[in-house]
């Protein structure tokens, strides 16, 4: 096993799962275990100013010539499956046959046809009990692999680098305490994704919808002309939303109900609203407010409160305004004989918010996939290639 994969496995074994219910930064203290280790290793690699701030975010810099290029990956892992006792397995030269993770779970091409492209390559997978955490420890290991190469090849001329390892990306709080002053980069890349030929320059605009409905509760036997059932009103609200604009049908954007809590007297539901187009998202907002008004008119004794809050924004307009990072990534991929795909993320990245803050940050792949679950994998050769790609991007 080479030292870059070894490094990835070492990081994957450290539990850094985020938690959306603590309200602290980092959301889990254990994320700092990896932060501390990274500070030590960065110093060993010659980035002497490496440090962890009070939030667990790691910053470090390396001198060079030209624009300062930022590289970011996130320390935390997703919430869907546990990150405790990650036990990575290696499949050498995968022949495409079923991979039995354990008695309950198997990776098969039937289930994951996109993995056909990895036949003949080596895979790092889970033992079926945890996620792998290639999202985003593969990103961290790629950045560390690049720095290791630079240390061992002092004649390699490169741009100055600004490194940031952030916390709590998976709960959407990566940018919360991220500091442009501490980072000091001209533009940056998040390395937090899938295929290595992708340059992600676009993502969803994102809002959260919260609707609270208070009905009128009386004994149902005395309910005639009085009782207003909040649960039924909630169903009426949901049914009035455009039914073909849900993740099952829609590609460009959708509304997606995530929770309903309540009783016949009072209920609250939460949904996420997503669209590549800001205009379309606002049209949906208008429709939601119309539904509120129509139902309030129909049931004047009910109280319907609608709250729409912004989550993140499509980075497209920022990336277009400063095309330097995308141009560099495109040139690097082409030089290595890889045709780039300019992809759109049906989700968000920390980079979307960094871009809005003033640091344009498109996203690059890691060679991993099936994120947030037991079927997660890392393709060894693609991961290795990504280190070469990043070296090409920062080459002076």
Which of 135, 136, 148, 169 is an active site residue? 169
141 burial class (0-12, 13-18, 19+ CB within 10 angstroms)? buried
**In the range 111-170, which residues lie near Zn ion by CB under 5 A?**
135-136
Q: Is position 200 an interface residue for Zn ion (rule: CB under 5 A)?
A: no
With DSSP H G I counted as helix, E B as strand and the rest as coil, what are the percentages for the chain, rounded to 5?
35, 25, 40
User: Taking the complex as a whole, how short is the minimal distance between the CB of residue 74 and Zn ion, in angstroms?
Assistant: 6
Whichever of 148 and 200 has its CB closer to Zn ion, that residue is 200
Whichever of 136 and 168 has its CB closer to Zn ion, that residue is 136
Q: Is position 192 an interface residue for Zn ion (rule: CB under 5 A)?
A: yes
User: Taking the complex as a whole, how short is the minimal distance between the CB of residue 261 and Zn ion, in angstroms?
Assistant: 28
Which of 15, 41, 76, 173 is an active site residue? 76
To the query of whether residue 76 is one of the catalytic residues in this protein, the response is yes
Q: Is position 350 an interface residue for Zn ion (rule: CB under 5 A)?
A: no
User: Taking the complex as a whole, how short is the minimal distance between the CB of residue 314 and Zn ion, in angstroms?
Assistant: 18
> Cβ contacts of residue 121 below 8 Å, gap of 6+?
93, 94, 379, 380, 381, 382
Residues 350 and 178 sit within 8 Å (Cβ to Cβ): yes
Q: Which two tokens stand for residue 84?
A: 């405790």
Whichever of 140 and 288 has its CB closer to Zn ion, that residue is 140
Which DSSP category does 68 fall into?
P
Number of residues that bind Zn ion (CB under 5 A): 3
CA distance 342 to 197: 9
Q: Are strands 266-275 and 161-166 parallel, antiparallel or unpaired?
A: unpaired
Give the chain's count of helices (H) and strands (E).
Answer: 10, 18
- Binding pattern to Zn ion, positions 231-270, x when CB under 5 A? ----------------------------------------
Return phi, psi of residue 114, to 5°.
-65, -15
| Strand ranges (E), the chain | 51-52, 58-62, 69-74, 89-91, 99-100, 106-107, 123-125, 161-166, 187-191, 198-203, 205-214, 253-262, 266-275, 303-312, 341-345, 363-364, 368-369, 377-379
User: Taking the complex as a whole, how short is the minimal distance between the CB of residue 135 and Zn ion, in angstroms?
Assistant: 4
Residues 185 and 162 sit within 8 Å (Cβ to Cβ): yes
Q: Which two tokens stand for residue 8?
A: 């990835």
Whichever of 170 and 214 has its CB closer to Zn ion, that residue is 170
User: Taking the complex as a whole, how short is the minimal distance between the CB of residue 73 and Zn ion, in angstroms?
Assistant: 8
CA 208 to chain centre: 17
Whichever of 174 and 325 has its CB closer to Zn ion, that residue is 174
Whichever of 141 and 209 has its CB closer to Zn ion, that residue is 141
Q: Are strands 377-379 and 205-214 parallel, antiparallel or unpaired?
A: unpaired
User: Taking the complex as a whole, how short is the minimal distance between the CB of residue 307 and Zn ion, in angstroms?
Assistant: 28
Task: Name the site residues for Zn ion (rule: CB under 5 A).
Answer: 135-136, 192
- Residues serving a catalytic function are 76, 169
């Amino acid at each position: 096993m080479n030292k870059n994969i070894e490094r990835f496995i070492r990081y994957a074994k450290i539990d850094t799962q985020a938690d959306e219910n603590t309200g602290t930064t980092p959301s889990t203290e254990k994320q700092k275990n990896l932060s501390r280790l990274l500070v030590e290793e960065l110093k060993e690699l010659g980035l002497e100013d490496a440090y962890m701030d009070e939030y667990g975010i790691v910053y470090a810099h390396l001198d060079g010539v030209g624009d300062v290029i930022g590289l970011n990956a996130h320390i935390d892992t997703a919430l869907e499956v546990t990150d405790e006792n990650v036990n990575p397995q290696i499949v050498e030269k995968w022949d495409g046959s079923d991979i039995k993770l354990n008695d309950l779970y198997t990776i098969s091409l039937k289930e994951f046809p996109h993995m056909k492209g990895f036949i003949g390559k080596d895979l790092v997978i889970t033992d079926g009990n945890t996620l792998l955490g290639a999202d985003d420890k593969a990103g961290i290991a790629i950045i560390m692999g690049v720095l290791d190469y630079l240390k061992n090849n002092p004649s390699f001329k490169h741009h100055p680098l600004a490194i940031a390892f952030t916390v709590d990306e998976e709960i959407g709080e990566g940018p919360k305490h991220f500091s442009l002053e501490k980072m000091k980069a001209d533009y940056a890349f998040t390395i937090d994704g899938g295929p290595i030929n992708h340059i992600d320059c676009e993502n969803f605009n994102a809002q959260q919808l919260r609707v609270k409905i208070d009905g009128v509760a009386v004994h149902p036997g005395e309910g005639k002309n009085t009782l207003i059932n909040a649960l039924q009103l909630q169903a009426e609200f949901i049914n009035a939303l455009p039914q073909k604009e849900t993740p099952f049908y829609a590609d460009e954007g959708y509304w997606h109900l995530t929770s309903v809590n309540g009783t016949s007297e009072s209920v609250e539901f939460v949904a996420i609203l997503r669209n590549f187009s800001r205009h379309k998202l606002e049209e949906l907002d208008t429709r939601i407010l119309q539904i509120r008004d129509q139902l309030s008119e129909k049931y004047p004794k009910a109280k319907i409160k609608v709250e729409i809050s912004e989550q993140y924004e499509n980075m497209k307009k920022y990336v277009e305004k400063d095309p330097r990072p995308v141009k560099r990534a495109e040139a690097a991929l082409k030089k290595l004989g890889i045709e780039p795909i300019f992809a759109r993320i049906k989700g968000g990245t920390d980079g979307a918010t960094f871009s809005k803050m003033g640091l344009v940050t498109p996203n690059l792949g890691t060679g991993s996939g099936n994120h947030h679950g037991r079927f997660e994998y890392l393709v060894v050769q693609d991961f290795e290639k990504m280190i070469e790609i990043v070296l090409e991007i920062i080459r002076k």
